[in-house]
Structures are given as C-alpha cells and as structure tokens.
Structure 1
Amino acid sequence: ETNRFANIRLEDMQGDMFGLCKDQHGCRFLQRKLEEGDPAHRDMIFAEIYPHFGELMTDAFGNYLSQKLLEYSSDEQRDLLIESISGELVSISLNMHGTRAVQKMIDFLSTQRQVQSLIVALNLNVVTLIKDLNGNHVIQKCLNHLPPDDNQFIYNAVSTNCIEVATHRHGCCVLQRCIDHASESQRIQLVTEITYNSLTLVQDPFGNYVVQYVLDLNDSRFIEAIVRQFLGNVCALSMQKFSSNVVEKCIRVSDPAGRQALVEELSGRQRLERLLRDSFANYVVQTALDYSDPAQRAHLVDNIKPILPMIRNTPYGKRIQSKIQREGMDSLRSGGTGFHPTLVSGGYFLTPSHISAPTPPHHIQPIIDSRSSFLGNNPGNPAPSARSVTSKFPVHQLTSPTTLQPNGFSTPWSTSTLTSLVPHAYASIGMGLGRENQAAT
C-alpha cells in the first residue's frame, strides 16, 4: 500500500489531491512533495487544498497535511489560508485534530496581517477556549508564541471573567500561564482581579491554586494585598480544606506585620480550642507556631496549654503537644517584635508603633477592593461600585463560602484616612498596583 505512490508524479494526481489528503498514505505522499521544496509542487497542492483547508484541519489524516502546508507556504499563501478559516477557527480549535493544526499555524505566523486575523477570530471566545480540553492549548500557544501586546485580548477576557476562569479545571492552569508570560502591566491587571476575588477563589478546589501561585511570586505588594483581603475571616478560612492551605502559605511568606495580623486572629483561647480540634485548622496553628516571632509564639503557647488536656488523645493534640515540647517554647518568652497590633472593637488593626492618634472603628479599607483610589484615571478602567462587606468570622459556626466577604468589615474608610494611618504599607502597594488595559478589545 505504501509503495503505490512510489513512482507517481504529483502532476498525475491533479484533480484528486483533496481525496488523497484523507487517505493515510496519500496524505504522506503529499507531505513528502511539500518537503522536497519545489515551489511548483507547493503551488499545485495549495491550489487544490485551499478551498477545503478548514475541513482538512479537523480530519484525522488531513490535519497533518494542513500543518505541513502552513509550514511551506509563502507569506501570501499563508495570509489567504488563515483568512479563509477565520470564521471557523474557534470550532477547529475545539476539535481534537484541529487544535494541533491551529497550534502549528500559530507557530508559523509570519506577518502582522496573520496575527490580526487570529486575534479577530479568537477574541470573542477566549473563555470558551480556555475551558475546553482542546481549546485551552490554543490559548496557551498564543501565550507562548506571541508577544505580550498581541496577547492583550487574552488578558482582557481573563480579567473580566476571573472567577469563571480561575475556578475551572483547565482555566486555573491557563491563568497561571497568563501570569508567567505577562508584561508588568498585564501581571498587575491580573493580580488585581485575583486579589479582589481571593476570598471566593481560595475556597475553590482550583481557584486556591491560582491565589497560591500569586503568593509564590514573592512580590510583597501582592502578598500584602491578599493578606488584607483575608483579615477578619482567617479562622473560617483555616477550617476549610482548600483555603487552609492558602492561609498556611500566607503565614509563611508574609512580612512580620502581615504574619502578626494573621496569627493574631488565631490566638484567642476560645477560637484555638475549635481550631485545634479541626482536621484542617490544626495544621494552620502548627504553621503559626513555626513562623511566629518569639513573643507571639509564646502568647500562642500560653493559650494552647490549657486546651491540651482536652485534645491530648487526638492525633492533632499529640502533634501540637510534641511541637511545643520539642521547640522549648518557654525559653522564647523573652523575644519581642517592634510591631504591635492595636485591639479595636474585637478585631486587630495594624498600626506603626509611632502612631498615637485614636484608632477609628474596626474597619479597614481593602487595598485592591477600592480600585479608584490608586488605579489611575484611565477612562478604560472605570472603578466598580462600592461593595458592602459586612460579615465577620462566627466562632460557633462554619458557614458556606458565599458568607465570607472581603475583609469582614462593614464600612470602608476613605483613601485619605487609610493613607494617613498606614503610610508605608499603603504607599508600597498603591504605587505598584495600577490598573492598565482593562477594557476589552
């Protein structure tokens, strides 16, 4: 069967090439003719294949010839091929054979005209492609191969649909690749949305990985912004399977001030008793013991010790007791930090030690929640309406994810008030998290 094309000339197959494309051996014959590099043969194959190019891209055998034709075509021929399938490109990308052909097409884009044809074809269906088993590879190929500016249509779509993408099996992976390949402004655009929605994302089996990925960037601006979103809900998050991992990571990577604020919410004796009995939260407490400064660790130990007799026979209690004994916590009581939280209305608000002015009620303006305060005056980046953030962590009840609201505070402060109270932390975040290029193209 293989040898039936051994002595056949391409000229002898004129008029039959489309049929050959769908035959395993005929397809290989045509590929070999393209590889020979004869422009006349290339033009003959192009002339017969061009009207059927979209159909061939989804064929089990024809897709290999379509890839080869894209590789060996001239720029002008490639322009025509890509424009001919523009209206079908999304459906081709969703096909198990077509996705490979489209990825190869992206590899061989050689003119800006071809790039623009691709962008126009995919622009309105980015999220659909991201969530598809085959289509997500096309978006990832764009991220890998195209420069950031040409990929802006992807960043606009993902930012607008952050939760839908981040909480999807394939979407969470694509979102991480978006972060990898982003320009600085695009990374800020994405992280702003991820942080704004972090309370929802950390409670999701896929979304929590996206938040952890941002924390792993080890950028203090992003870490502090995420930590502030969690304040007021740290205990509730610690008692959930997915979000507890994120709380642990926050404790590990935060600066001393952020870590102190997180651990402070865990330190109450009544809360500790429930946290230590919980199958997820006990690990958060152990991490807090490992990473707290000496003074805060000693305070934790003081509150844990009265609880130990009640949990001594549980696996969690044994681990906690062993950790306390092993680390010799009593010897660390003399440690101290230069940063102390001020207790206000049952919660903690971080203030630099030199601030002596009376502290306002227990409300903190979310750093990324109130976008208009430092996201610039770009007309394409309108600030959203104010959100009501009222819930607080209920010691007696673990609620559904939708109960948790950003920061758990009821009334946001004005930007000027926040700036005056936390000048250094606010300035370091505000300077770097400007929102750019948000409007969808």
Structure 2
Amino acid sequence: MVLWQDKDHLCDLMMDQYFNSLIQSVFEVSSVDHITIFLGLIIQNDHKLMEVCMHNHGTRAIQKLLGNLKTQEQIRAVIFAVKRITVKLSKNINGEGDAMTQLIEKIVSHALVFTEHPFGNYVVQYVVKMKEPFVNATTISQLLGRFAQLSMNRQASIVVENLLEFSEEKAAAIIIQEIMCSANFVRILQDPCGNYMNSLGKSKRYWTGYITIVFPTWNVEVISVEV
C-alpha cells in the first residue's frame, strides 16, 4: 500500500492538492487499528496538527478522519490533542469551521464519559464556557439523570457548576430541579464537591429559571424573593 510506505509524510499528503482526496477515501475504508495508527501519526506533533487543521485541503481530510473515528479512545486522543492547540485553531477561518463543529459534536455526544474523566472534564469545561446555548442545552440533555451523582464527583462537579453558570436560565434550572428532587439533595449540600449549591441558592437568576419551569403560569416579574 503506497500510503503505508509514506505514513511518515501523512500530514503532508493530507495538505496536498491531489493526494488529500485519496487520503479521505482511505480514512473511509480503514479498520479500527489503521485509524488508530493514522491518528497517532497526525496528532503526535502539535505544530504539524495545527498546520493541517489550518490548511484548505488539510482541514477537509481532518473532517473526514473525525467522521470515521470508531472508539472512545480515538475520540479522547483527538480531543486532548486539539485542546493543546485550540486557542490558535479557533482564530483560524478553517479551524473554526466544520472540523471544529464536528469535534464539538463528538465531545458533547460523549459528555458523560469526559465529564467524569480527570482530564476530559477540562475539555467539556472549555466547550461549556463558549456559551453556545444549543451546545450547552445538548450537553445538559446528555447528563440528565446523573446530575446528583456528578455533583459529588470532584471533576464532574466543576462541569456541573460551569453548566449552571454559562447556560441559559431555563437550561440551568433543569439541573437545579433534578438535584433538588434527588433523594441525595441534603447530602449534596454537605458534600465538599457539591456545596456550590449553597451559594447558588442565593442567586435570583437560578431561582427565576427554576420557578419558570416548575410554575410556568406564574409571573416571575412580580415575585419578590428574600435571599
């Protein structure tokens, strides 16, 4: 296989005007093991990875690779690699296009796995802090039913707190409602990881969203709450 012989130049081939189409085709038919090897070659050098992501032809090949990732380990490897270059990448016209969107979709679709991971939670935090309403709402939907548990996890509790801070009121209120209705609510308030709920209890912003969900017919504007 010609590509295998030139694997050390894979990034260059991905940026080539003619070979990038061939590389995309190879990614589509590659086995799990081959994708893992290709992935390792592409992300081993941050400078080269950023060059590919910012290149007109290279970014198309990256998109094709992302679309053919087959395991959580592969997705995790890409996320950690891109996290290292994400600031520069997000400022580039190609880097902030479809490839970045596709990567964010991958992160959100595996939000639960990464939220509880010692390092993966930082990636979820980065995405949440982008303050994209739809992205944060989708992330919340991925974590529904787990917020009480996550609130008592050292890594995950930070993600939950970020979701409350950087999501829209109604979306944040969904989290509060689930936690307050949990049988472990008191335990969460007493837990070192979950005690941020105590400070949230003094925030009118969160209670406004919560009341809107639980009592949709109430006029929140005329409700005066002592905090």
Normalising by structure 2, what TM-score? 0.69
Counterparts of 1:208 and 1:292, CA distance in 2: 28
Specify which of 285, 288, 293 is matched with residue 205 of structure 2. Answer: 293
Specify which of 76, 80, 90 is matched with residue 7 of structure 2. Answer: 90
Counterparts of 2:198 and 2:42, CA distance in 1: 38
Q: Which residue of 1 aligns with 2:49?
A: 139
**DSSP 3-state at the match of 1:339:** helix
Q: Which residue of 2 aligns with 1:200?
A: 113
**DSSP 3-state at the match of 2:195:** helix
Q: Which residue of 2 aligns with 1:174?
A: 82
Give the C-alpha shift of residue 208 in structure 1. Answer: 1.6
Aligned Cα RMSD in Å?
3.7
Q: 1:141 to 1:233 in 2, by over 3 A?
A: same
Do the aligned residues in 2 keep the contact of 1:238 with 1:280 (CA within 8 Å)?
yes
Do the aligned residues in 1 keep the contact of 2:148 with 2:185 (CA within 8 Å)?
no
Does residue 158 of the first structure (1) align with residue 71 of the second (2)? no
Give the C-alpha shift of residue 249 in structure 1. Answer: 0.3
Matches within 5 A, 1:320-339: 339=212
Q: Which residue of 1 aligns with 2:41?
A: 129
Does residue 116 of the first structure (1) align with residue 33 of the second (2)? no
**Corresponding letter in the other structure for 1:112:** Q
Does residue 220 of the first structure (1) align with residue 220 of the second (2)? no
Give the C-alpha shift of residue 156 in structure 1. Answer: 3.0
Do the aligned residues in 2 keep the contact of 1:130 with 1:139 (CA within 8 Å)?
yes
**Corresponding letter in the other structure for 2:157:** S
Task: After superposing the two structures, state which structure 1 stretch, 115-124 or 249-258, moved more.
Answer: 115-124
Specify which of 168, 185, 195 is matched with residue 255 of structure 1. Answer: 168
Give the C-alpha shift of residue 206 in structure 1. Answer: 2.4
Counterparts of 2:115 and 2:106, CA distance in 1: 13
Do the aligned residues in 2 keep the contact of 1:158 with 1:165 (CA within 8 Å)?
no
Residues 205-234 of structure 1 show CA distances to partners (whole Å, capped at 9, x for unaligned) of 222222222212221111111112222110
Q: 1:340 to 1:155 in 2, by over 3 A?
A: same
Unaligned runs of 5+ in 1: 1-84, 94-101, 297-334, 343-351, 355-441
Counterparts of 1:89 and 1:190, CA distance in 2: 27
**DSSP 3-state at the match of 1:221:** helix
Give the C-alpha shift of residue 199 in structure 1. Answer: 1.1
Q: Which residue of 2 aligns with 1:341?
A: 214
Residues 44-74 of structure 1 show CA distances to partners (whole Å, capped at 9, x for unaligned) of xxxxxxxxxxxxxxxxxxxxxxxxxxxxxxx
**DSSP 3-state at the match of 2:187:** helix
Do the aligned residues in 2 keep the contact of 1:201 with 1:211 (CA within 8 Å)?
yes
Q: 1:280 to 1:192 in 2, by over 3 A?
A: same
Counterparts of 1:336 and 1:220, CA distance in 2: 14
Q: 1:117 to 1:89 in 2, by over 3 A?
A: farther
Give the C-alpha shift of residue 272 in structure 1. Answer: 2.8
Q: 1:353 to 1:199 in 2, by over 3 A?
A: farther
Residues 321-348 of structure 1 show CA distances to partners (whole Å, capped at 9, x for unaligned) of xxxxxxxxxxxxxx78761237xxxxxx
> Over alpha carbons, which structure has the higher Rg?
1
Do the aligned residues in 1 keep the contact of 2:140 with 2:171 (CA within 8 Å)?
yes
Give the C-alpha shift of residue 291 in structure 1. Answer: 4.4
Does residue 209 of the first structure (1) align with residue 126 of the second (2)? no
**Corresponding letter in the other structure for 1:138:** K
Unaligned runs of 5+ in 2: 28-34, 219-227
**Corresponding letter in the other structure for 1:173:** A
**Corresponding letter in the other structure for 1:127:** L
Normalising by structure 1, what TM-score? 0.39
Counterparts of 1:140 and 1:336, CA distance in 2: 40
Give the C-alpha shift of residue 171 in structure 1. Answer: 4.2
